[in-house]
Amino acid sequence: MKHQALIITVLSAAALVCGCQKDSSTSEQLEKAKQETKAAAQDLKDYTYAQKQEFVQQMQTRLNALNQDLDQLSTKVESSSDAVKAEAKPKLQALRDQANQLNKQLDDVKNASQTTWDSVKAGAEKAYDGLTNGVYQARQWVSNKLAP
């Protein structure tokens, strides 16, 4: 699970760097992606029940970043053709629904007892991984559709 989250984080960071910075050189983009990956890897750790609040804050920060990515994608889609808008809106709405579900799971994590901690935490991590992957795929899709 840790490796999957790390891989998804790495891919997300690389996609953000490559997709958002057209004016930087490739080597600069790769270097920034490496730095972000290293920072994300350091952030990943196995949270215990005693670290519940820290886990919730970390996940909320990550969820906020994904929501910002969705906002950026929505903005790009709004400036595109009607066909692209029609195709993208259901995909983006599905991702927003996933983000809302993750937010509900974070509420469950906040209220988790020591006996339910591992399963609730695992569910939130799985939901985060799915959302991260979905945002990454959406970013690729938008890049392909709006490529010059």
Check: pTM over 0.85? Answer yes or no. Answer: no
Q: Are the CB atoms for 47 and 121 separated by under 8 Å?
A: yes
pLDDT digits (tens, 9 = 90+) for 18-48: 454 444 445 565 566 556 655 554 454 578 8
In order, the DSSP letters of 32-85 are: HHHHHHHHHHHH-----GGGHHHHHHHHHHHHHHHHHHHHHHHHHHHTS-HHHH
Domain extent listing, the chain:
2-145
Q: What is the pLDDT of residues 71-85, one digit of tens each?
A: 999 998 888 888 888
Q: What is the spatial distance between Cα 64 and Cα 103, in angstroms, rounded to a whole number?
A: 10
